[in-house]
Structure 1
Amino acid sequence: MAIRYSIIIATYNRAHQLPLTLAAFEAQTYPKHLFEVIVADDGSTDGTKELVEAYRASYSLTYVTQTEQRGRSAIRNLGLQYAKGSYVIFCDADFLALPEFIRTVRQYHRKNPRAVVSGFPHSFDGSYTHYYPDFSPEEKEHCHAVLTASNSWRPELEAANEIIPLVTPADIIHHTDALSRVVFPSKMPPGVIKQFASTDVAPWMVFVTRCVSVRRSLLNRVGGFNERYVLYGLEDWDLGYRLHCLKVPFYCIKEIVGYHQEHPTHFRGDVLNTENLRIMLETYGFNDSALNLFCVVPPSADLETYKNTLRILRRGFRSRTTRSSARLLKRTLRIAAKQFLLQSDAEAYKKSLAKIQRRAAGRKSRVARVLRDMVQRSEKLVE
């Protein structure tokens, strides 16, 4: 029978976490002959190649790599070239899938075969599968609290100068209680989780490669990941945005289907770097307020304001009494994005905003109030 799901795991120097990630697919309740795992290595230097090639999987396991590090987009595209499944599931190398993971994804795809099915944001609970001596003081304190609560803290961890495993691949395969003793709820505030899970505006934000699934034919249709993105951030949202432009629906898996293997934050890099935002604006221009708004209200800083602004803008265009203010709000976001990208004359930019502010003065609608707030925020781009 043909492969149904291709799981692509992009990795770079995650040799400590990857064995657990691979072991988690040994424990899947979904038939092993119906899925494959492709480890796409972005030039690791920590023995990842030897680790994967020596791994004896009970499922189809393929290792692919490139001669030099080219970034998250390029390595995922390489993995995509080897995929045989009707659907592709992207997983991070530090994502520890629970046994029902693939089966749950399949249930969502059976109801919504053309949709993007995402484990984000409900599968952002964490697990301390390893103790890292280079955890920050805050990370060490949190790890200590989690392990102490389950009577798993060991005094020798305090003086450790090397990475110490707290969960083994055998624990995952044989379903011991080791994992349950090191998991903890997501640090993401409930309000942020609710906003991410609400796909009424900017639904493409749930396309997060920690765990997301989509038809392979749709990925090929939009050309895969944009390889201009080399640094961390936005490369997955960019792909999600292009799928959204094809009218592909987005669904969040409500069940927890896996855990993040905690590691020092510095492994990740900047959550939203300005260079990648510039690439996004250069690629799509300034016609979409959802993208322009990134420059004024970064979602990573204030997701509620970001999404509510888009909701208010949309409602503003629906009413004749607020349409003028909605047009001004859209224009404000557009000229702010242009200023962010092009760095044009600051005085001319300020004059444009002042003119909009004068036109918005005295208007009492909610759209007008948001407009005035966005003008003030936009002024900070040249402060």
Structure 2
Amino acid sequence: MFLTVVIPTYNRLSILQKCLKALEKQQYHHPITNYEVVLVDDGSTDGTLIWLEENRLGFPHVRVFCQSHQGPAAARNLGVEQAQGEIIIFIDSDLVVTETFLQCHGDALAEGYKTSEKVFTYGRVINTCNFENPTSEPYKITDFSAAYFATGNVAIARHWLIEAGLFDHQFQQYGWEDLELGVRLKKLGLKLIKCPDAVGYHWHPAFSLEQLPKLIDREIQRGRMGVLFYQKHPCFEVKMMIQMTILHQILWGLLSLGGRLNEKTMAGFLQGLIDQGKPQLALEIARIFLNWYNVKAVYAAYNQLK
């Protein structure tokens, strides 16, 4: 079993260094014969390519490809097209994995193939803001994911991706390109195998108020891309996923008091939590109005289509 780890990256040099170093430390045996890392730089401007060139001898498994800034969907497609392995493992460039990461995916796939070829594995993603030692973070209830196909930590045979049609390049803004591909994979009959031992630690800086404009913009983008998702698959399941239902309007409208609880009116309270050393709690509370921005963006984008 030859594995190709496909990683799109855009201006994440500091954590990318840890990501690649962890992948060079992989311990593996049967059924894995070898692996490579296909890194696709999506037009970074932070010196990523310079650093990769200067340190290429330290990363013998890494092959680098470049494209202009087109988004993660196009970057992942380029990675799949250039892959030499029959198994593709998708991770993000801010994910730091354990030394047995590849072996756990390989073992789970081999076990699944005993009964069906139509399987793929989904590993565990643990969120952390510990940059110095990200793998020390314990699993939390907020790390749970019920996603069917998410590219933060997933392994799948390359030919299924080709048959499904790869990622849709229309998803150039934030969100949904992986879950939309997941809908097509599900139609092919593929089954998800949870692989919690294949652990990746998703690093992000501790929440601060300065991040809110970017987070709000991301929710607006996610709303727009959600409508594109629904255009491609106009069903109730997708409407629930993208929060385009009266239930979501009522829920987030009530919790945010119709938008009156927002980044301005809650700034003092959120900063107080941050000052108490509770940035994660502050972020979870901020998600109330962030979800309201998302719901409004979904309906705004949908109404533009009418």
TM-score between the two structures when normalised by the length of structure 2:
0.71
1:291 is aligned to 238
How far apart are the structure 2 equivalents of 1:184 and 1:264?
16
Alpha-carbon displacement from aligned partner over 1:252-311 (angstroms, at most 9, x marks no partner): 212251211222664776257221011112222x3x32113331156xx89xxxxxxxxx
1:270 aligns with 2:218: yes
1:21 is aligned to 19
Measure how far apart 1:125 and its partner are: 3.8
Contact 2:126 2:199 in 1 (8 A): no
Higher strand share: 2
Judged with a 3 Å threshold, the aligned counterparts in structure 2 of structure 1 residues 64 and 281 are, in CA distance, closer, same or farther, namely same
How far apart are the structure 2 equivalents of 1:280 and 1:223?
15
1:123 is aligned to 125
Q: Which amino acid aligns with 1:186?
A: K
1:75 is aligned to 75
Contact 2:38 2:79 in 1 (8 A): yes
Contact 2:13 2:46 in 1 (8 A): yes
How far apart are the structure 2 equivalents of 1:92 and 1:215?
18
Alpha-carbon displacement from aligned partner over 1:126-152 (angstroms, at most 9, x marks no partner): 2511xxxxxxxxxxxxxxxxxxxxxxx
What are the ranges of 5 or more consecutive residues in structure 2 without an aligned counterpart? 253-297
Alpha-carbon displacement from aligned partner over 1:57-106 (angstroms, at most 9, x marks no partner): 4542110011x211111111111111011110001001101011000001
1:273 is paired with a residue of what secondary structure?
helix
1:222 is aligned to 164
Q: Which amino acid aligns with 1:112?
A: G
Larger Rg: 1
Judged with a 3 Å threshold, the aligned counterparts in structure 2 of structure 1 residues 242 and 108 are, in CA distance, closer, same or farther, namely same
1:130-279 equivalences under 5 Å are 166=132, 178=133, 183-186=137-140, 188=142, 193=144, 196-197=145-146, 205-255=147-197, 257-263=199-205, 266=211, 270-271=218-219, 273-279=222-228
Q: Which amino acid aligns with 2:137?
A: V
Q: Which amino acid aligns with 2:7?
A: I
1:61 is aligned to 62
Measure how far apart 1:213 and its partner are: 0.9
Alpha-carbon displacement from aligned partner over 1:1-30 (angstroms, at most 9, x marks no partner): xx7110001100011011110110121112
1:6 is aligned to 4
Measure how far apart 1:241 and its partner are: 1.0
Measure how far apart 1:118 and its partner are: 0.8
Q: Which amino acid aligns with 1:290?
A: E
How far apart are the structure 2 equivalents of 1:45 and 1:125?
26
1:369 is aligned to none
1:13 is paired with a residue of what secondary structure?
coil
How far apart are the structure 2 equivalents of 1:212 and 1:92?
10
1:206 is paired with a residue of what secondary structure?
coil
Contact 1:35 1:59 in 2 (8 A): no
How far apart are the structure 2 equivalents of 1:88 and 1:19?
21
Judged with a 3 Å threshold, the aligned counterparts in structure 2 of structure 1 residues 289 and 339 are, in CA distance, closer, same or farther, namely farther
Count of matched residue positions in the alignment of Structure 1 and Structure 2? 242
Identity rate, percent: 24
Contact 1:126 1:186 in 2 (8 A): no
Alpha-carbon displacement from aligned partner over 1:293-337 (angstroms, at most 9, x marks no partner): 331156xx89xxxxxxxxxxxxxxxxxxxxxxxxxxxxxxxxxx9
Alpha-carbon displacement from aligned partner over 1:163-218 (angstroms, at most 9, x marks no partner): xxx3xxxxxxxxxxx556x52443617xxx2xx44xxxxxxx23111111111000
2:37 is aligned to 37
After TM superposition, which residue ranges in structure 1, 4 or more long, deviate above 4 angstroms? 264-269, 337-340, 342-345
2:12 is paired with a residue of what secondary structure?
coil
Judged with a 3 Å threshold, the aligned counterparts in structure 2 of structure 1 residues 340 and 94 are, in CA distance, closer, same or farther, namely closer
What are the ranges of 5 or more consecutive residues in structure 1 without an aligned counterpart? 130-165, 167-177, 198-204, 303-336, 346-383
How far apart are the structure 2 equivalents of 1:187 and 1:116?
24
Q: Which amino acid aligns with 1:115?
A: V
Q: Which amino acid aligns with 1:105?
A: H
How far apart are the structure 2 equivalents of 1:76 and 1:264?
27
Contact 2:89 2:154 in 1 (8 A): yes
How far apart are the structure 1 equivalents of 2:222 and 2:91?
22
Contact 2:24 2:61 in 1 (8 A): no
How far apart are the structure 1 equivalents of 2:305 and 2:27?
57
Q: Which amino acid aligns with 1:244?
A: K
RMSD: 2.8
